[in-house]
Amino acid sequence: MYVMGIETSCDETSASVLNQDFRILSSVVLTQDEIHAPYGGVVPELASRQHITSIVYVVQECLSRAKLKVEQVDAYAVTQGPGLIGSLLVGLSFAKGLAYYFEKPLIAVDHLEAHIESAFIEHKKVPFPALALVVSGGHTSTYLMKAKMDYRLIGRTRDDAAGEALDKIAKFLSLGYPGGPVIDKLAEKGNPRKFAFALPHMTDGSLDFSFSGLKTAALRKIEEHKISKKSPLFHDFLASFEMTVVRALLANLTQAVKLLKPKSILLCGGVARNKKLRQRFTELARKLRLTSAIPSPEFCTDNAAMVAALAIEKLKKGRKPSLSLDLNAYPRISSFTPSSKKRK
Ligand code: KG4
Ligand code: ZN
């Protein structure tokens, strides 16, 4: 069985083919970074137009790298939401068209759920219960999983996502878009202990996250110390800010581990590409004697392999593919609604 995934929820046009054993036959990701960089963030209208321009090429390239003819694809999978509505509609309409024309099943998947699934593509033996930390540009949440596709929301950000905080500070310092990878690189040259930031934490005992206070504190320090690309403290500032984001994420995770006692921890989403976070996450798992799983960097940021993988998982669990052409994209409200049993 060959399943083609299509992902266009934000600013990456991606297609990928996996077989029934989750082997990736091809994975093509075309980023739009250069288009949005001058604006310091994704411009939704430009994103959807670029998806329209790129989607045929990306799907053709995906088939050619997989050495498959389009008729050989057995099922299509597509991201339904959350994301930018115009961008989502391009992928969804294209996938619907292919499924309809070739009379193949179409499986719509949730973007966040697909990010979690990305941790399993290369890690087949993850012991459950597993605690998944999803850190992207739009989301920062933890989920407890008793088994594959069985999620309980443990905590989520009450304001900014971690990636959003990194992107905003980078934008303020005119470092380009996306800011996360730029900060990752520049922070290598700095001293992470030079600037002291208070660690954000919840005072109500919940396992939620918050990054807007940290972002404000960082903006204040930029003004106070006149931080700019030319200032001698530039790299130290970025290293200290990055380290605080990493420490905040891992402090929360440690608390959740102590409470929920999982057997493994998973790290997914675009920010999971961050070198410091990957390193500290792995060290933490070792210290806590837990199995850890982090996708390879290319499967952390938006990609269609995770979309196809989740669809295969759903098909294997006997979920009925949605053949209906009434399928709609959802920008915010997710159909992925794990029971959110918040701690008292
Ligand atoms: O998962 P993703 O591709 O899109 C969303 O679903 O949001 O994540 C994008 C986010 C951006 O905020 C970007 O700055 C961040 O991931 N990111 C990184 C790195 N690479 C991407 N953050 C820190 N270090 C990186 N190397
Ligand atoms: Zn994403």
pLDDT value of residue 225: 97
pLDDT value of residue 343: 40
Tens digit of each residue's pLDDT (9 = 90 or more) over 304-329: 999 999 999 999 998 777 666 678 88
Tens digit of each residue's pLDDT (9 = 90 or more) over 78-114: 999 999 999 999 999 999 999 999 999 999 999 999 9
pLDDT value of residue 203: 86
- Ligand 1: which atom is nearest the Cα of residue 112? 6
pTM of the predicted model as reported, rounded to 2 decimal places: 0.94
Name the CATH architecture for the domain at 2-114+300-341: 2-Layer Sandwich (3.30)
pLDDT value of residue 325: 66
* Nearest bound ligand to the CA of residue 295: 1
**CA-closest candidate to residue 151, choices 171, 131, 124, 126:** 131
Residues of the chain with pLDDT under 70: 322-325, 333-344
Ligand 1 cavity residues, CB under 6 Å: 10, 136-138, 163, 166-167, 178-181, 184, 269-271, 273-274, 301-302
Domain edges within the chain: 2-114+300-341, 127-295
pLDDT value of residue 337: 61
Q: Which residue has the least CA distance to atom 11 on ligand 1?
A: 137
pLDDT value of residue 199: 92
In angstroms, rounded to a whole number, what is the distance separating the alpha carbons of residues 258 and 70?
49
3.10.105.10, 3.40.50.2000, 3.30.420.40, 3.40.50.300: CATH of 127-295: 3.30.420.40
